[in-house]
A and B are shown apart, each in its own frame.
Chain A
Amino acid sequence: MSEILVLVDHLDGAVRKPTIELLTIAGRLGEPSAVFIGNGYENAASTLGEYGAKKAYRVEGEGLNDYLVAPKAEALAQIVTDVSPGAVLIPSSAENKEIAARVAVKTGSGLITDAIDVQAGEGGAPVTQQSAFAASFTVTAKVTKGTPIITVKPNSANPEPVSGTAEPEVVPVPVTISEAAKGARVVERKPKEKTGRPDLTEAAIVVSGGRGTNGDFGPVEAFADALGAAVGASRAAVDAGWYPHSSQVGQTGKQVSPQLYIAAGISGAIQHRAGMQTSKTIVAINKDPEAPIFELVDFGVVGDLFTVLPQATEEAVKRKG
């Protein structure tokens, strides 16, 4: 059976949800092996095993985190060359796509980014689905040269624990970073403050605010908290300085595909739609009955978010009661 490499996204060993989705996908294609770069493996081991990783390549070396992207790409390409896996699955993020890109060049392999599904095709080779042009099209594709390098979006699979699993067999991979990989030095790193809310791209529910909030995200945040949701913002809201860019949903922000997307005071211009159109259920609240967002919704309320959201929040809290 083919070995399928999964690059682990983690914070000091706390494995992020998209990685376990990828372990489940890897299980469809062959035998999953995790690639763990950085510190904190002891915290990750049991999670990786629980979701099917049979092996874990532990990459350790001086300076892996001190230089941008290139050392991680070097290490992963080295493992690909040594192991000849059936595919490499990488959680989609801006940085991870850069790692994937460099590994593709180094190993002479085809690259598919932002897959929303991966299944085993003929002979077990991976076949991917992607969403194109603000979700107007679904594209089915495959890699035709080298080792398929595929980045996969969050919320693309339901993670399935594998019964009776032990912790993965650890394979240490000592690396020496080449001089060429030391070109971009990370001289400072300021961790972002945690909001206590789920990560925007991984959340099952997102509540977003736009121009209609007039700068007051209070009702949006309260409703999000009642639902255990992440908070997003339209480009208009971010440009106006009402919410940070890291919360921007749209073509030049984050693209999200949650179970439920609620847009409050957002007109639904194409820039925004490109960021959320593949959400499973879409709800909108807007004063303007002609707002384009209403063309997308499963349920819409024409009304003032300052009245509708607080009432909805109260109801939601009561039901959780």
Chain B
Amino acid sequence: MNIVVCVKYVPDAGADPRFASDNTTDRAGVDGLLSELDEYAVEEALKIVEQAGDGKVTVLTVGPDDATDAARKALQMGADEAYHVVDDAIHGTDALGTSTILAQAIKRLEYDIVLTGMASTDGTMGVVPAMLAERLGLPQVTLASELTVEGSTVRIRRDNDAASETVEATLPAVISVTDQINEPRYPSFKGIMAAKKKPLQTWSLADLEISADDVGQSAAWTAVEEIAARPPRQAGQIVTDEGDGGSKLVEFLAGAKLV
């Protein structure tokens, strides 16, 4: 059972994420880390391989130099090896381009499952897993809150507003997991030490036979015209409850014609 887990290096939400002067996400000037939602994917991959008794977890990430930190965290959790696609020409690539790069990398790896988180915590689009399924011609088994693998069949529970669905597919497949699926393990001291010796290979676009003209900001199929910082909210009125807090609340709502 071999699993490729795709992970992303994202700006720390608590560290004031922002945009660079070319309207791309500032990944260099802001501290980054392994996207929290990807931890659930790494954990699930480790569990599946542990249960199968045999196989490996390969981490794959596309990102600037510092993205190795994300790959390294996954190795510390227990993944066996990592690949980091890094190339200056990738700067400013859109989701469509990212899925192209990931697909080309995945085709070079051995896998029964391609596993991802449900969305990145910076772009929050949640579209790359579906694009990967489309590009790789694999079943799309996404947004799993529960998952079992039996032989070559995967079965998941997927929840939406209207219903809970049970979805099944024959491997190989693209699977994404939500934050409901498990509790990611903390890297142990042993895991952190062991990670230092695990293979972490970098690939350039040329290694993947992708032309620089096909990715990057100028090749993107969308363009940002303007970014405006939202003006900070005006300080509101705060009252202390002295037996009338509820009434004052409703008075406010009535004044704003909300009740």
Residues of A within 8 A of B (CB): 11, 68-70, 73, 93-95, 97-102, 104-106, 109-114, 127, 131-146, 180, 183-192, 199-201, 205, 227, 245-246, 251-252, 259-260, 270-271, 274, 281-283, 285, 289, 294-304, 307-316, 319-320
Contacts and interface: CB of A to CB of B under 8 A. Distances in A.
Most-contacted residue by chain A among B159, B240, B241 (CB, 10 A): B241
A136 B230 contact: yes
Given A184-B140, A184-B169, A189-B164, A299 B237 contact: yes
B206 interface: no
B126 interface: yes
A301 B239 contact: yes
B257 to A, nearest CB: 10
Contacts of B223: 141-142, 144
Nearest to A191: B163
6 contacts: A68-B142, A102-B133, A183-B138, A187-B167, A190-B163, A315-B251
Given A114-B124, A184-B141, 20 more contacts: A93-B160, A97-B126, A104-B131, A136-B18, A138-B227, A183-B139, A183-B140, A183-B170, A184-B139, A184-B168, A189-B165, A270-B13, A294-B238, A299-B237, A299-B238, A302-B238, A302-B241, A315-B246, A315-B250, A315-B251
Given A98-B127, A189-B164, A285 B141 contact: no
Contact of B245 (A110, A139, A245, A285): A285
The interface residues of chain B, by DSSP majority, are classed as mixed
Contact of B165 (A135, A141, A186, A297): A186
A251 B13 contact: yes
A307 B243 CA distance: 8
B185 interface: no
B240 A189 contact: no
Contacts of B253: 260, 283, 316
A186 B167 contact: yes
B69 interface: no
Nearest to A134: B13
Contact of B258 (A110, A138, A259, A311): A259
A36 B89 CA distance: 41
Interface in B135-181: 135, 137-143, 145, 155, 158-170, 173, 178-180
B196 interface: no
Given A137-B228, A188-B166, A144 B245 contact: no
Nearest to A227: B259
A299 B13 contact: no
A31 B137 CA distance: 34
B247 A315 contact: yes
Contacts of B1: none
A120 to B, nearest CB: 14
A140 B37 CA distance: 27
A180 B137 contact: yes
Contacts of A141: 222-225
A142 B127 contact: no
Nearest to A146: B221
Contacts of A183: 133, 138-140, 169-170, 173
Interface of B: 13-14, 17-19, 36-37, 94-96, 99, 118, 121-122, 124-131, 133-135, 137-143, 145, 155, 158-170, 173, 178-180, 220-230, 233-234, 236-241, 243-254, 256, 258-259
Contacts of B128: 101
A192 B165 CA distance: 10
Contacts of A251: 13, 121, 124
A109 to B, nearest CB: 7
Given A70-B140, A281-B258, A303-B241, A113 B125 contact: yes
A110 B140 contact: no
A110 B130 contact: no
A11, A68, A131, A260, most chain B CB atoms within 10 A = A68
A266 B99 CA distance: 37
A43 to B, nearest CB: 16
Contacts of A297: 236, 238
B143 A94 contact: yes
B170 to A, nearest CB: 8
A90 B68 CA distance: 36
A146 B164 CA distance: 35
* 7 tightest A-B CB contacts, nearest first: A311-B246, A303-B241, A183-B139, A110-B221, A312-B246, A101-B127, A98-B130
Given A105-B135, A319-B250, A190 B164 contact: yes
